[in-house]
Amino acid sequence: MLVERYQHRVVRVAMAVVHNLDDALELAQETFVRAYENLAKFESRSSLSTWLYRIAANLAIDFRRREGRHTVLRGEEGEIELNRLPSERGNSFAETARNELNQRLNKALKELTPEHRAVILLREVEGLSYDEIGDILQCPRGTVMSRLHYARNRLRGILKDVDKD
């Protein structure tokens, strides 16, 4: 089924923008509903997956605009969801360091604008090309490059600080 095939990536695309699992799930459901309603308008200029991600990204960006561009995430939900890592029992030094890194990365991701966060997560987590990202977020390739450069440098600083500590 189409939903089962693309659900994870659609949720992650939405999450890349809204940075909250509950909102991302809601937006992902809405994405499939919109896709179903507009299937007749789908043109094979882009792949079906890109079309779905674009719907998800547009819905998420609209959602963010409605909520306010830099709204602080509600409570700790965002961090809780993003920290769902497979962890071993015990509290080893490595695990502590990893948790600290995750917390800092989450904090840094939250501080990015939705556009910067979406670009770096679509690239690093989803592995999409610059053209695909530009297609989904409807911005030029040069904008994708500059946003990526900015986001990487911001997050790189976090990593270096953790290494120093």
Partner 1 sequence: MTSCGEVRLLLGPFDDGELEPNEMEDVAFHVVGCGECKAALEDYRALGVALRSVVTVPPLDNFAQAVTARLAPRRIPVGARVAQWWNSIGRLASVIEFAGVAAATAVLTLLIAGPDVRKFVTHRAENTAVSFKAGATTPARPVQAIASAGPGVANTNRNVAAADGKLAAADVNLANVDDQGKIEAASDLQEIVSELGAGHSPSVAVWNEPRTDTTVVWVPDQR
What are the residues binding partner 1 (CB under 8 A)? 1, 3-4, 7-8, 11-12, 15-16, 21, 25, 28-29, 32-33, 36-37, 81-85, 98, 101-102, 105-106, 109, 120-121, 123-125, 129-130, 145, 148-149, 152, 155-156, 159-160
Report, in Å, the least distance between residue 90 CB and partner 1. Answer: 19
The C-alpha atoms of residue 29 and residue 134 are separated, in whole angstroms, by 23
Among 94, 87, 93, 125, CA closest to 109: 125
Structure tokens at 59: 């819905």
Report, in Å, the least distance between residue 71 CB and partner 1. Answer: 19
Structure tokens at 138: 């409807």
Alpha helices in the chain (DSSP H): 2-18, 21-37, 48-67, 77-82, 93-111, 114-124, 130-137, 141-164
Q: Which is nearer to partner 1, 29 or 58 (CB)?
A: 29
Q: Which is nearer to partner 1, 55 or 121 (CB)?
A: 121
Report, in Å, the least distance between residue 63 CB and partner 1. Answer: 17
